[in-house]
Amino acid sequence: MRDPHALWHPSPNFGDRRGGVLPDMIVLHYTAMGETCGARDWLCNPEAEVSAHYLISTTGDVIQMVSEDMRAWHAGAGRWGAVEDVNSRSIGIEITNTGAQPFSEPQMHSLEALMRRIMARWAIAPDRVIGHSDMAPGRKIDPGPRFDWRRLARQGLSIWPETASDAPVDGFRASAARFGYTAEVSDEVLLDAARARFRPWATGALDGQDAGIMADLATRFPVDRVSLSA
């Protein structure tokens, strides 16, 4: 399935979605490269054995490399909730960015428009939009603390915590798992991943606000409510 608003530049790096599943997630990445052409060529290089469904340039051009109904190779090892083969359950979007620069307004505008179309086509809920660092904490850090998750949430394209109430810190990890952070990593790595997305300005040890944010998300968006059937 091709997006009518995207430029088609096919990658050979894809396969069938395993088990006949349909995409019910979107995973956002940054390329860690400053130039879109270089990232595009790498994602289309058979020796690289990586790909994504879409790549968005700094000027807002949207390039599609894999049909949405096929399994791109963007997520790798990791998990979200009970999903271990994230590639089979997701659509991957790469955004041209080194990780050390702001995301441009044209690419954010194009990303939002693309996400609206994808979410409508596949009935993907806002809480099923995650970052690469959410499903692979410690191994991946993209799309990074400069990415504006709150902006997406204001448009119904992602989620944002509502509470400002502190919670006991000893409940942080259990709440994180109920929300979806089920990768087997240390408490420190888990905290870094959660903060990069929901509290990028925070420093220091785990505190009550971290625990309160995660408790709110786990209450409103428990990952176990999502069916794992095809």
What is the C-alpha separation between 84 and 119, in angstroms, rounded? 21
Distances (CA, A) of 195 to 74, 152, 171, 200, 213: 23, 17, 16, 5, 10
What is the C-alpha separation between 32 and 81, in angstroms, rounded? 26
Q: Are strands 7-8 and 71-72 parallel, antiparallel or unpaired?
A: unpaired
What is the C-alpha separation between 56 and 104, in angstroms, rounded? 10
Active site residue 49: no
Active-site pick, 49, 84, 94, 162 = 94
* Encoded tokens for 136: 């692979």
Would you name the residues annotated as active-site residues?
A: 94
